[in-house]
Amino acid sequence: MAERYSSFEYGGTRWLLQRLTAAFLVVVLAFHFMLLHFANLPSEITIAQTAQRMQQPGYFVTMVLFLVTATFHGVNGVYNALVNQGLKGTQKSVVKYVLIIAGLALTAQGIRVAIAMTGVSL
């Protein structure tokens, strides 16, 4: 029988964070779909409505947390999938730092857009 291999160290920090972010994402995705796909038809949603929702502190914080956790979960998952496929040495280091930079850039841009949607200028 084939041996199961995972680059996640069972019980390690990245292993735990991957599971916690997955649980958070399931809950927030359910909220997102209920609010924006079932309660309101996507074709009826406007930028003004989005801006109005983003001005509510609870919604704003939830969406920023959604962005941060989804980015971490995705970047961490891609990195570990590549490591599981045999990525090693210099390539592993390069991929790790490219993914970190891409994740930080995506998060920064997403937060910038979220803040812009509130109408607050920095």
Identify the pLDDT of residue 69.
97
Listed by start position, the domains of the chain span 13-118
Identify the pLDDT of residue 1.
46
Class of domain 13-118: mainly alpha
Identify the pLDDT of residue 19.
93
DSSP state of 34: I
Identify the pLDDT of residue 47.
83
Going from the first residue of the chain to its last (122 residues), give the mean pLDDT of each consecutive group of 10, the final group possibly shorter: 60 87 95 82 79 92 96 95 92 96 97 90 66
